[in-house]
């Protein structure tokens, strides 16, 4: 494998990520129950996510100079994120990936890695079921 090619390029680069993340925020997430957590105008959120993903997958890093260290879990603490919220986020992303230019062979590993991050963002847990039934 050619090491000069980043995972970001393998996943399709800006040509794949820009439409993917537009679809994710403006079509899927905006119509989901998560929309109320986000600012009404999702344009800046989209631009943060695009810069984050480009950096995260080894492409150009415009994120850190702009936003500082990602500190993803800390940045998500102000928002109540339970397992259902993480599942909804992933459902929006999975649907967007199906309609995207991400190469088919990379879709599963891409979503699996995002799911690890999504699970780590969970900061609200339902109490365990009562042992008394």
Q: Which of 1, 101, 75 is nearest to 110 (CA)?
A: 101
- Tokens representing residue 13 in the block: 């680069």
By CB under 6 A, residue 121 contacts ligand HEM: yes
Give whichever of 19 and 115 is closer to ligand HEM, judged by the CB atom.
Answer: 115
89 backbone dihedrals φ, ψ, rounded to 5°: -55, -45
11-40 residues near ligand HEM, rule: CB under 6 A: 34, 37-39
**Residues 53/69, Cβ–Cβ less than 8 Å:** no
54-113 residues near ligand HEM, rule: CB under 6 A: 67, 72, 75-76, 79, 81, 85-86, 89
Tell me how far apart the alpha carbons of residues 82 and 62 are, in angstroms, rounded to a whole number: 30
Q: Which residues bind ligand HEM (CB under 6 A)?
A: 34, 37-39, 44-45, 48-49, 52, 67, 72, 75-76, 79, 81, 85-86, 89, 114, 117-118, 121
């Amino acid at each position: 494998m050619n090491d000069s090619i980043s995972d970001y390029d393998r996943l399709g680069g800006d040509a794949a990520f820009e439409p993917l993340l537009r679809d994710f925020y403006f079509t899927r997430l905006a119509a989901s129950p998560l929309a109320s957590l986000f600012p009404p105008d999702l344009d800046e959120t989209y631009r943060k996510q695009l810069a984050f993903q480009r950096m995260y997958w080894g492409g150009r890093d415009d994120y850190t100079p702009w936003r500082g260290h990602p500190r993803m879990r800390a940045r998500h603490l102000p928002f109540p994120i339970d397992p259902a919220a993480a599942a909804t986020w992933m459902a929006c992303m999975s649907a967007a990936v199906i309609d995207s230019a991400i190469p088919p062979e990379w879709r599963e590993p891409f979503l699996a890695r995002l799911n690890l991050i999504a699970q780590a963002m969970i900061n609200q847990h339902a109490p365990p079921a009562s042992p008394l039934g």
